[in-house]
Amino acid sequence: MTGPRIILGSQLELTDDNTFTQVDLISEKSGMQHQRFDQYYDNVRVEFSSPVIHSEKGTPTAISGEFYAVKDLSTTPAISPQQGFQNALRQIGAQHYLWEYPDAAQEIDYQKPAGELVVLPYITDAGTTMKLAYKYDIYATFPLSRGEVYVDAQKGDVLFYNSIIKHVDSFGHVGEIAATVRTADEAKKALEDYDALAYVTGSAATRYSGTRSIETTLSGGSYILADAGRKLYTRDAKNQAPGSTYPYINNYDQFTDNDNNWTSAEHSANKDDAALDAHWGAMMTYDYFLSQHNRNSFDNNGTQIRSYVHVDVNYDNAFWNGSVMSYGDGSSNGQEGNGYFDALTSLDVAAHEIGHAVCTYTANLAYQRESGGLNEGFSDIWGAAVEFYAKGNGNETNPNPEIWLIGDEIDRRTGSAALRSMSDPKSLGQPDTYGGTYWKNPNCGTPTRTNDYCGVHTNSGVLNHWFYLSSVGGTGTNDVGSSYSVNGIGVTKAARISYRTESLYLSSNSTYADARAASIQAAIDLYGAGSAEEQAVTNAWYAVNVGSAYGETPPVDYCTSQGNSVADEYIGRVQLGSIDNASGATSGYTDHTAVSTELTRGSSATITITPVWRGTVYSEGYAVWIDYNQNGSFTDSGELVFSQGANQNTSVSGSFTVPTSALDGSTRMRVSMKYNGIPSSCETFSYGEVEDYTITFGGGTADTEAPSAPTNLAASNVTETTLDLTWDASTDNVGVTGYDVYQGTSLLGTVTGTSASITGLTADTSYSFSVQAKDAAGNVSASSNNVNVTTAGGTTADTEAPSAPTNLAASNVTETTLDLTWTASTDNVGVTGYDVYQGASLLGTVTGTSASITGLTADTSYSFSVQAKDAAGNVSASSNVVNVTTAGGTTPDTEAPSAPTNLTASNVTETTLDLTWTASTDNVGVTGYDVYQGASLLGSVTGTSASITGLTANTAYTFTVNAKDAAGNSSAGASVNVTTADGGGGPIDDTLIASYFETGWDGWIDGGGDCARYAGSRSPEGSYSIQLRDNSGVASSMTSPVFDLSAYDNVEISFSMYAYSMENGEDFWVRYNDGSGWQTVVAYARGTSFNNNTFYTATVNLPASSYNLSSTGQFRFQCDASANGDLVYIDEVVIRGTATAGVNAIVEAAAPQTFRGESFAEQPDFEGDFVVYPSPAVDLARVQVMLDIEDKPVDVVLSVYDIKGSRILTKEYSNVTEAAFTEELDVTSFKSGVYFVEITAQGGMKETAKFIKK
């Protein structure tokens, strides 16, 4: 295939700044080839651009995928990668990230992101623009999330978050994360995961799929769930939570069986049989993709798949984290109505997860809008296809009905059949029709987790139902009234078409329309044009309202757009060409398509829009689109012909040039005017009007004059396989639109400039090139001069192997590891690496002259050798063989430490005391001491003292201390009895003020505009707290009343706090005024003292020895941030006068006190200020949301839906003027379960939050 730059350039009218690099080549037995490219603009990669050139027998036949005509974009960033990284972190707002834990990061080949500079197609409801951006792969471990964050490299704004880990909650969808390729370091550790031990076939009584044959490995006299042939390994996570470090990746147990007959009696008691499902499910998914689609593992590179079962406790989740599968046991005991899910290891769940990894390595569909719905839908397709392959009845068009239910085997919710249904999506709250019931608008604003990234889990039902109908057929009438009839082609054929669609034709931002076109082409590739298969998939798309039925001319349908009110303003007059239309307005949309004008391609035109205000003059924004290619969409490049921001001008005008590519005939022009903002083409907004008109192209005098012939064609920069052509420009009476470049008589492609780069040539071969110019009318010039050129001669192939490595030796031999070293080989060109063998088994490849071997067995003999290789693939003779026996195993440590002695209690007060003791001894070493109060373990310490707090005055206690060692041996205990001090007659302990702010300010003084009493989820206690922001001095503070402190030796201030969006280093202060002026007692800084999105408690002490505790003392909390969005919430403030001084400390709350019933870490970032609480709710649920109110009141609709999507409550509110909207819902009559509250308001706002009814 020759000249991809020329072929792609002819489609895009690309500038010379755009180049392409091949990243993949797929060749088929049929002679078809598929070349995938990355696009670069000014040497910066264009994100999501992945054009594919399809060719047959060397001749290009089609182009698919995404590519962008990037031009006039500066590639010089205005901010540094470090600045962008900080902005990305602020967007995530997590407490911990994976790079803080190097061992865990290394396990899954993750590195702290440095920031890749990319050109990002920035997609909004208004269209697509190109932005220079930094891309960061941010892996947060608490709260858990992973996604690619794109930060504007000019302005610093966060543009897009592409979720990699897609979370699931206790009622929702299975989550996943994109996969990564195994690294060289992991390959070196191959002994641990696929050693030379024999793998054999066993029998497994699975939890969900009956008795199945599985591949296992005999290891140390027992069989383990390890399939070295497929590289599948299933392990016991020991109920460890993913946490910050995924501890179970290294700290796991093997599932074992003594005779390879894994029976239910042996393995069902603790849900261990779920591991058999996970193992068998991975086997079946691997076999399916290999046998049906010739795909070797998810990345087509044979990468291993590790599964960890028994993750966490009552964990309703399963996800792929980049290298391994994590399966929770679920919160159910297996009975319907008990908990949410049983163990999440069913076959369709495993296939769904691995299907997402396949998507990452093929179409890489972005997790937002329509592409995200396709991403989810394809994973469900693979869940059904794998289940049919492994458990189906063999009837292609009438398979077991269970294969169309996703998650049916694990779902234990009362009355719930499954997570999703492909045969009847609407039965479980998904659409079966594009734009029909349950369809979520993909143009929902900014995609976030809160809005399900604009409906990715919901809208996947459309693709699911298409696959179902393509497989089994069906007749009926869809939600938009279209009657359809589909003849099914069977699951296997439908899956082959689906795989070809996803792997060859789709790209990151593909839509349902793209998927339709791609699947039709895939059917033609596989079964021929006009085949029953092409007809079936076409008619199935028609059934779900995407495109026309087979054989029908597709209608041109335009999206709807309108203003909701023309009471204040509307479009009074539109002028363009012969259009001069003055009109009134009775609604927010007016159809003027009977009014038209003719425009000339290549000419300039001016449009003028005149608004009418019925009273007050408001600011209006404008936009005009013309559908030049007549495809029913206004989103194509160049179709937005005019826009202007909000203004109060009496008329606005703009000029544009009609492209020469505009199609003949009539098309649609849309004129839109929106209050206080630029409208998008398919938007419904509160105030303003939309009008549609007709534009016609064609007519006029035909251009029959051809351009002049190009001259001075010359070749330069000739190599073995490439050369550059240049020539002088042609002239034309209208204008030259491009140049056709020929090699001999074969057209290579078309360019718009006067140069072309030719690639794919053969060394030492003669070629002849010529060029012809053409214009918009299709006139072609005479040919340029021919240029004859011979490519440079090829080099002689390298057939010489490197010399054999020498002096191979083993060192640092332990029970399970050793190091190998050798002397380097030599080569006539250069050694590129060394293959390391254990016996005849290749362990991996290294580039240096050493390797570390792990995973060996104690007291076992091994044989190792090494071979060198070069870039041409030549391999040396083997090195000397080194034989080595690992060290013998050690005797387990069973000796307990001696008991602690001299346990003593001191510094006894009413509520505290100190314990000290003499250290224990141990044959290996003491690792810590467990401290007990009675029979209750208080905690462990490593030293020989402990401070006890929270005691009750005048109360007797018994404390015991036990020593322990690394082997878990525990000593006898040492005990002491002690009674706390009497509460009467002791030190002074007066509570000066206790403020919880639930009914008011509780005596504190509001500092001003940057201080407010707040109600919402960020309040540490109850519902209310005091919110401080920015750094406005007193205005950013709250101040206490005046206290007489002269009688106290110490003043203690305790409080709770929470921070949101504070930047690293920003702080807040606790201050004191003894009457002479304010002084800062403690400054707490973000990143040092606290992190965002976490509840903390703090204690501050002011001893009389350090502070003047006067009769006019006051206290103040003051924020020292940098913007209104940087917030601190103060709550539970208690000030006590005492006689005992302490130290200033801030500690994370052991159990954050919150009105929510679930851990804060499991909540999505509360960026939209929309929350429903408490959750679980018993009788009342409070709704709080921030509305976007400017200078007009809005109407609000509140709806409540149950888990099946049925609306059970609707409340309407008119003329709401307060931005902080709150409402209490009586949920006494609601059944126990999960509910969703949806808020809609004028201006396009639609937000959803969930709560649980207890």
Beta bridge partners of 884: 862
pLDDT beyond 50 at 191? no
CATH architecture of 1171-1253: Sandwich (2.60)
Determine the average pLDDT of the residues in 23-35: 75
The Cα 215–Cα 284 span in angstroms is 11
User: What is the percent of the chain with per-residue pLDDT over 70, rounded to a whole number?
Assistant: 89
Q: What is the phi-psi region of residue 385: left when phi exceeds 0, alpha when psi lies from -120 to 50, beta otherwise?
A: alpha
Q: Tell me the per-residue pLDDT of 845-902, one tens digit each, with 9 for 90 and over.
A: 888 899 989 888 888 889 999 999 988 888 999 999 999 998 876 567 788 899 999 9
Determine the average pLDDT of the residues in 1142-1158: 29
Pair of tokens at residue 149: 């964050």
pLDDT of residue 476: 95
pLDDT beyond 80 at 1170? no
- The domain 4-64 having CATH identifier 3.10.450.490: the answer here is yes
pLDDT of residue 1191: 62
pLDDT of residue 987: 52
Determine the average pLDDT of the residues in 431-455: 88
pLDDT of residue 6: 53
pLDDT beyond 80 at 323? no
pLDDT of residue 419: 87
Determine the average pLDDT of the residues in 1106-1113: 91
pLDDT beyond 60 at 181? no
Select the CATH number that applies to the domain covering 562-697 from these four: 1.20.1250.20, 2.70.50.30, 3.40.50.300, 3.90.320.10: 2.70.50.30
pLDDT of residue 878: 92
Please choose, from the candidates 1097, 1094, 1096, the residue with its C-alpha nearest in 3D space to the C-alpha of residue 1160.
Answer: 1094
Highest mean pLDDT among 155-169, 448-462, 509-523, 988-1002: 509-523
With contact defined as beta carbons under 8 Å apart, do 12 and 67 qualify?
A: yes
Determine the average pLDDT of the residues in 1002-1008: 91
pTM above 0.95, yes or no: no
The Cα 515–Cα 409 span in angstroms is 30
Q: What is the phi-psi region of residue 1030: left when phi exceeds 0, alpha when psi lies from -120 to 50, beta otherwise?
A: left
pLDDT beyond 70 at 395? yes
Identify the CATH number of the domain defined by range 366-445+454-552. 1.10.390.10
pLDDT band at 598 (very low <50, low <70, confident <90, very high): very high
pLDDT band at 1175 (very low <50, low <70, confident <90, very high): low
Highest mean pLDDT among 531-540, 936-945, 1222-1231, 1241-1250: 531-540
pLDDT of residue 988: 62
Listed by start position, the domains of the chain span: 4-64, 81-165, 191-361, 366-445+454-552, 562-697, 711-790, 806-885, 901-979, 989-1158, 1171-1253
- The domain 901-979 having CATH identifier 1.10.1130.10: the answer here is no
Determine the average pLDDT of the residues in 227-252: 83
* β 736-743/589-599 pair status: unpaired
Q: How far from 296 is each of 31, 190, 379, 760, CA to CA, in Å?
A: 22, 18, 17, 29
pLDDT beyond 80 at 609? yes
Identify the CATH number of the domain defined by range 81-165. 3.10.450
Superfamily of segment(s) 711-790: Immunoglobulins (2.60.40.10)
Q: Which are the contacts of 586, defined by CB distance < 8 A and separation ≥ 6?
A: 566
Pair of tokens at residue 408: 């049916």
With contact defined as beta carbons under 8 Å apart, do 104 and 244 qualify?
A: yes
pLDDT of residue 171: 28
pLDDT of residue 143: 67
Domains 4-64 and 81-165 share a fold: yes
pLDDT band at 245 (very low <50, low <70, confident <90, very high): low
User: Cα 311 to chain center, whole Å?
Assistant: 21
Of residues 52 and 694, more confidently modeled: 694
User: What is the percent of the chain with per-residue pLDDT over 90, rounded to a whole number?
Assistant: 40
The Cα 412–Cα 403 span in angstroms is 18
With contact defined as beta carbons under 8 Å apart, do 797 and 746 qualify?
A: no
Torsion 1142-1145-1146-1150 (CA) sign:
negative
Q: Tell me the per-residue pLDDT of 478-513, one tens digit each, with 9 for 90 and over.
A: 999 999 999 999 999 999 999 999 998 898 888 999
User: Active-site positions?
Assistant: 353, 457
pLDDT of residue 168: 38
Identify the CATH number of the domain defined by range 806-885. 2.60.40.10
Determine the average pLDDT of the residues in 1109-1124: 92
Q: What integer best gives the mean pLDDT of the chain? A: 84
pLDDT beyond 90 at 91? no
pLDDT beyond 90 at 588? yes
pLDDT of residue 797: 66
pLDDT band at 448 (very low <50, low <70, confident <90, very high): confident
- The domain 989-1158 having CATH identifier 2.60.120.260: the answer here is yes
Of residues 109 and 244, more confidently modeled: 109
Q: Which are the contacts of 692, defined by CB distance < 8 A and separation ≥ 6?
A: 558, 589, 590, 591, 592, 593, 668, 669, 670, 671
CATH architecture of 191-361: Roll (3.10)
